A and B are shown apart, each in its own frame.
Chain A
């Protein structure tokens, strides 16, 4: 990869991580939601670098265009939510930090193993794989090996739809 591409990748990684930290720790919940938008956008760029072009598009459509709006609606419509302040301060922050570090290190170990497995492959093969468009292979997988999950997803979505409208019904 050229230096310019590496720089952009670094920028996207930095954007994702910094925004994620802001989401968790920013006192103003609306700014935290905006950081969430930035995190989603950063993840979309990372998907492009990994060769998952279709997933990057879906990430922007569903997350940046949808989930962000959902969360912003929730924050904007609920006054007590907006006025909430971070209550885990001082000593109360210790336990969440410890649990966070434990969880992160176990995730790091698992993903590190996976990354080592991927990187053991020849780099030219990886670059060729990353350059291929992924829409058709995903389609073939959805119609082939993953047909049952594909149809099961619609049942899940149906459940979500009915659940949401039931919760929203006036009593």
Chain B
């Protein structure tokens, strides 16, 4: 394990302690006040909130997250290969490595194109057909 990770650990600890520290300072600093006569309801520009705080199911959020994970795994697999590319260029086997990278990314790029053409990447699906021309 590299010693740099010790530094990273301390950075994360210090950053993580900053928030409770600030909240603590705030708690010590602020005047005591009793919650008199206010409802503590959620803020909706002065209106009373209507209905439960549930949003109707939108699958597009979930779809974005799935597509993100797919591309993220692809990029994660691409990083170590990319670090070797410079060495491959110097040793002359760049063409082979490029072909491998191209095959790897190209297939997924085809998938992206397919989704694009079929309209799956549109945030608001079928808006062109749904609304008549005004």
So, do A and B actually touch in the complex, CB under 8 Å?
yes
How big is chain A's contact interface, by range? 35 or more
Tell me if B2 and A161 are in contact (CB < 8 A). Answer: no
- Our pick among B5, B57, B74, B76 for the contact of A77 (Cβ within 8 Å) is B57
* Majority SS at the chain A contact face: helix
B67: Cβ under 8 A from any A Cβ: yes
A53 close to B2 (CB less than 8 A): yes
| Contact A142 B70, CB 8 Å, known A158-B107, A158-B108 | no
How many A-B contacts at CB < 8 Å in the complex?
126
The B47-90 residues at the A interface (CB cut-off 8 A) are 54-55, 57-63, 65-70, 72-74, 76-77, 79-84
List residues 16-64 of chain B with CB under 8 A from any CB of chain A: 54-55, 57-63
Q: Specify which chain B residues have a CB less than 8 angstroms from the CB of A74 in the assembled complex.
A: 62
Assess whether A147 is interfacial by the CB under 8 Å rule.
Answer: yes
Greatest chain B CB density within 10 A among A48, A133, A160, A168 is at A168
Q: Contact at B62–A73, with CB atoms within 8 Å?
A: yes
Please tell me if A150 contacts chain B, counting CB pairs below 8 Å.
yes
Q: Please count how many residues in chain B sit with their CB below 8 Å of the partner chain's CB atoms.
A: 47
List, in ascending order, chain A residues with CB within 8 A of B95's CB: none
A76 to B107, CA, bound (A): 33
Task: Say whether B118 faces chain A, with CB atoms less than 8 Å apart.
Answer: yes
Q: How far is the CA of A135 from the CA of B104 in the complex (A)?
A: 18
Which residue of chain A has its CB nearest to the CB of B106? A154
Stretch binding the partner chain, chosen from A25-33, A64-72, A93-101, A113-121: A64-72
CB within 8 Å for A151 and B100 given contacts A61-B72, A62-B72: yes
Q: Which residues of A contact B77 (CB under 8 A)?
A: 142, 150, 153
Tell me if A164 counts as interface (CB < 8 A to partner B): yes
Q: With both chains docked as a complex, state the minimum distance between the C-beta of A69 and any C-beta of chain B, in angstroms.
A: 5
Taking A77-B58, A135-B79, A140-B84 as contacts, is the C-beta distance between A157 and B63 under 8 angstroms? no
Contact partner, A51, options B1, B60, B125, Cβ 8 Å: B1
- Interface residue? B11 (CB, 8 A): no
Q: Which 8 A-B pairs have the closest CB atoms?
A: A139-B80, A165-B120, A70-B65, A139-B84, A138-B80, A58-B76, A66-B69, A161-B111
Interface residues in chain A, defined as those with a beta carbon under 8 Å from any beta carbon in chain B:
5, 8, 48-49, 51, 53-54, 58, 61-62, 65-67, 69-70, 73-74, 76-79, 130-131, 133, 135-136, 138-140, 142-143, 147, 150-151, 153-155, 157-158, 160-162, 164-165, 168-170
Starting from the known contacts A54-B79, A150-B104, A169-B120, 17 additional A-B residue pairs (CB-CB under 8 Å) come to A48-B1, A53-B5, A54-B80, A61-B72, A62-B72, A66-B72, A77-B59, A139-B82, A139-B83, A150-B77, A150-B81, A153-B77, A158-B111, A161-B66, A164-B67, A165-B120, A168-B63
